[in-house]
């Protein structure tokens, strides 16, 4: 007999946050190597792309970097939506009780 364990908010929240940090660090390293930007510029561009602000001070120059940026945007928006859904669900659950 399998015992189903209900996942907790804290565990799910931690997983999504760790994935978001992994994305941010990976993207920072990618831009640092592919575009030859400083680590600060790479981090800045990665964070503004992930949270969809998208300032145009830095722009990827290679086709690979442009495609990676599109991928990063899709994954970043999805991750942010997952995080928002988790928090909203927890707030609504607490409101019911």
Residue 59 pLDDT exceeds 60: yes
Distances in whole angstroms, Cα of residue 53 to Cα of each of 11, 28, 57, 94: 28, 16, 12, 31
Q: Which two tokens stand for residue 89?
A: 């669900």
Q: What is the pLDDT of residue 30?
A: 97
Give 13-96's CATH code, choosing from 3.40.50.12280, 1.25.40.10, 1.10.3720.10, 1.10.287.70: 1.10.287.70
Q: What is the pLDDT of residue 3?
A: 63
Query: Distance between CA 60 and CA 69 in Å, rounded?
Result: 8
> Residues 15-57: pLDDT tens digits?
999 999 999 999 999 999 999 999 999 999 999 998 878 777 8
The answer to whether the CB of 83 falls within 8 A of the CB of 68 is no
pTM: 0.81
Q: Say how many C-beta atoms besides its own lie within 10 A of residue 19's C-beta.
A: 14
In the chain, domain spans? 13-96
Phi, psi (5° rounding) for residue 55?
Answer: -65, 150
Q: Which two tokens stand for residue 87?
A: 């928090």
> Residues 64-82: pLDDT tens digits?
999 999 999 999 889 989 8
């Amino acid at each position: 007999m399998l015992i189903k364990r209900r996942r907790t908010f804290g565990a799910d929240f931690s997983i999504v946050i760790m994935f978001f940090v992994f994305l941010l660090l990976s993207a920072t390293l990618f831009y640092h190597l592919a575009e030859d930007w400083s680590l600060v510029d790479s981090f800045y561009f990665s964070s503004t792309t992930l949270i969809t602000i998208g300032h145009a001070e830095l722009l990827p120059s290679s086709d690979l970097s442009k495609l990676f940026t599109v991928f990063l945007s899709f994954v970043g928006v999805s991750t942010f939506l997952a995080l928002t859904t988790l928090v909203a669900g927890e707030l609504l659950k607490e409101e019911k009780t």
